[in-house]
Amino acid sequence: MGCRLVWWWCSRAPASRLAYDDAKAEHRHMARDRQFDFHANSNERSTTHFFRRPLGTKVPIDRVNVNGAFSIDEPIVQATLTDHWRTIMTAPADAEPPDPRRRRAEIETLTKHLNAHDRDNLDQPIMAIGLCEAMKTMRPTKSHVQTVGLLGSSR
């Protein structure tokens, strides 16, 4: 017995179904992209939430593990953390230099949101005492993963 075809069946039906499925998937993908862009643009703004004062639940970092021995000497703590974070925060030697126009635009965007006092503070050199004070108030849960083995627990 032969296969009985329904009245709407024709040789173009499978191709039409594939075209329909492709168009539907493309529309769904486009809608998700549009939704992602909307949320990224509306939620990732520089609001007061991002510029708020940090929480007061910080733990001081007052000792480090240097070659298996803990040290509480302030210059050693400072030097160890500076060396550690320098390796993380600096670009590799073979990296392309940043585009000076883009860097200037970024700095101008950031500095226009600061008041005059904060702009003046930004231009000051980093002093050892300021670095030590900042290290003492670093949140241990926000430190880099490698820092966990480097830093001693002060609890």
The 10s digit of each residue's pLDDT in 110-143 is 888 888 888 888 778 888 888 778 777 777 666 5
pLDDT at 24: 93
The model's confidence at residue 7, banded by pLDDT at 50, 70 and 90, is: low
Residue 59 lies in a domain: no
Whether residue 152 has pLDDT greater than 60: no
Cα–Cα dist 122/72, whole Å: 29
Which residues, in sequence order, are bridge partners of residue 70?
65
Whether residue 87 has pLDDT greater than 90: no
Cα–Cα dist 98/79, whole Å: 27
Are 26 and 68 within one domain?
no
Residue 84 lies in a domain: yes
Of 58, 92, 63, the C-alpha closest to 80 is 63
Cβ-Cβ contacts under 8 Å for 77 (sequence gap 6 or more): 61, 62, 63, 64, 71, 132, 135
Asked if 151 contacts 140 with a C-beta cutoff of 8 angstroms, the reply is yes
Q: Is the dihedral of CA 57, 58, 59, 65 positive or negative?
A: positive
Which residues, in sequence order, are bridge partners of residue 7?
none
Residue 4 lies in a domain: no
Q: Is the dihedral of CA 85, 91, 97, 98 positive or negative?
A: negative
Whether residue 3 has pLDDT greater than 70: no
Predicted model pTM: 0.30
Domain that holds residue 140: 64-92+100-150
Are 135 and 72 within one domain?
yes
How many domains does the structure of the chain reveal? 2
Residue 49 lies in a domain: no
| DSSP label of 45 | -
User: By three-state DSSP, how is residue 127 classified?
Assistant: coil
Are 32 and 75 within one domain?
no
Are 37 and 112 within one domain?
no
Average pLDDT over residues 92-117: 85
Residue 71 lies in a domain: yes
Whether residue 144 has pLDDT greater than 70: no
Q: 155 is written with which tokens? A: 């609890």
